[in-house]
Structure 1
Amino acid sequence: MSTITFNLTDGTRRDIETDPETSVMRAALSNGVTGIVGECGGQAMCATCHVYVHDEYVDQLPDMSEDEEEMLEVTSSERDERRSRLGCQITAGGPLDRIEVDVPATQV
């Protein structure tokens, strides 16, 4: 199992245990995490699963695709050049058996 910690804007922390290879977005939607919308279903075609990855995990993430880069240009909440990623493009498991993200104030 992998653990994804979601830090919500109200100060709440949600630890979600999930199967490896589950995206951050899918884990959030499956567990009712407030603030993750996932309108496109994980195709990197919207920015409604935008998260801020905690610094200690950023360098463990795979490189960003051109599609993800483009979608991050239109996020509702301000983009952080180092920490902003789409939750649909981050998969738990492997080197990321644990990851912590902050959920932005708005997605749409």
Structure 2
Amino acid sequence: MNETFRLFPAIFSIIRKLKAPLRLADDLELGVGTQVFIYFPGIHKNPEIYPNPEEFIPERFSPQEIQRRPQYSFLTFSAGPRKCIGFKFAMMQMMCELHF
């Protein structure tokens, strides 16, 4: 299911307001209060994180492969403390539908 969500995310983007400065490059820093638009397909199809990003390869989500990637490289239902509260329910519902 995770590889399907990587290719076809249920949520395409989120917006967050920075609580601390964020340095993106030596000459680019975003200040506190800046609203940042996070586009999930841009992360999920980044070839530096997922080689051959357009291919369906479920093995990308083996425990070994997950350990090799940055923590927030997969954002199906957002991540961290603001992750969708319905995430576990949605996953259980999809698992049940797969068995019927």
Q: Same fold (TM over 0.5)?
A: no
- The structure with the largest strand share of the pair is 1
Tell me the TM-score range normalised by the shorter chain: under 0.3
Which protein, 1 or 2, shows the higher relative CO under an 8 Å CA cutoff with sep ≥ 6? 1
TM-score by length of 1: 0.27
When Rg is computed on C-alpha atoms for both structures, the one with the higher figure is 2
